[in-house]
Structure 1
């Protein structure tokens, strides 16, 4: 990946989902009006209901000197569509996807839960919701409210093709307090491929084409909305970078959001079919593990199983082989294999380099679907 952080030794950054914000911790924050380290700030009282307003004029028609008014307008338009999700002992966020009560969020926010408590902006009482389906491979999930409250407002979703470096964006979390659940920044980069760790609550997903932003990503934002100044959701905030030189502490100003194009693809399929039927993600059809070489450095991916009928098995790759390259790109770890495949498409033919019995071999594989 090209998302390395500048340092004297230029160590590769790590990525992790923000740790879950526990209900107990939230209660402490509410009582004390404080912001514990590593958590989103939570207001000491529930805000007044946000008024619904007309859609704002396009950004190009606004005065460049009226940025504050633009921020306030975006918050009024979008924050009512951002909800708080309580999943067991943890709290996260979600975005109202449509008027039928569907809410899109991160798979890591809901975990293994099946039922949830959701607080929406226009209802004083928490509402019950059930899981429709989760797609951990893309860290996305859809849940559905049992009862649709009057005036439920679906968010407007933007166009990934129009997201550009330098655009001003706001990251929004659950609406417990407007000032403490909104952060601002810019789009720092697009097209990043990032792997999230399975440890600490992540799904282990490798996600392509992510939007990098300087807006703070924390437990109050994860699963919420990354929004442009035209009040459109352009991504779902999901990951924060960690810097090895800071003891894997969060690297300030480096967060990532799942692009809106993938959010729509996954959410639309889940709502229509109850699951993802066409991920668009390439796969070799193996389970594997990272192996190290004589220097104790990662040296490839050992095939543990090759699924019958899968791309690897059909190409003659079998358990015990060690994959070292795909399509000419070196593979040293499970994460690097996932990153290579994230850029490919099902049906694409690639050359797979692997070792067997001390010798190096190559095979042509037609990639399957995740």
Structure 2
């Protein structure tokens, strides 16, 4: 098994509670452990050589839309013109080529249909027992695309510190998507990604890892999976890229619709939540609640204006009183000077009169 646990402090997925037995005889063949891939290759010699692969440093990056409905495909990181990118390694041709994930549509043909098992171990599939499921199996099937992921690009292994985080941010589609691993001892499945879970779901992947899992779709139609791959480089820099992986599930689904489906913006950060639309049908209580701040604002502004006007009037009153007081003081001084002069004159006259 090439799936490795996360290092200390790294996010990881947890297995579901252990059940007694795998009650899924119709799934047992295709949901077998990936470790048996080499045995399948003996039966289907024209298929990929299992999980034991080497990625060459000179594998080409190609442009143009591609429908991948058979053969081996891996999601993985690669440096393209020096930039960290999420890509798909298309091993359905020789030599293998790398494609931008936005150029890829994975078609899940009707040969992938199986019946949902009647077991609580598979309750996470959100499927009625016996209902049809579209399964990209963990072990390669000759008529169904074989989808996995790898961290084996030589430049990635040279520049990345220990491993990468593969994050599923969300799934858009008509049904439910679950991705899980099945151990060889008939233990409970280990759920890696559940399309019903809210928020990002992170999976740690060591360097030089090549893994395949079961991808199960409950309904035919178009699915868009929002993937992101993040890593810390040995230089200390963190790199990330985010891109959609499109699926056309069922042969009655037009693959062209998959390419036309809306895709998340590949920004490396989750999309911001949209503001709720104003329908104009808010309740009276909402109207009162929304208008109260405006009323308080108007009342507050009026109070401030009145206070300012009062302060101005008071200041003007104080200034008028100071001017009046100063004028009154000056008049008192002038009166006192006049009185003193008159008294002095009278005193002089009195002195002169007494001396004569």
Verify same fold: TM over 0.5.
Answer: no
Higher relative contact order (CA 8 A, sep 6+): 2
TM-score by length of 2: 0.27
Between structures 1 and 2, the one with greater strand share: 1
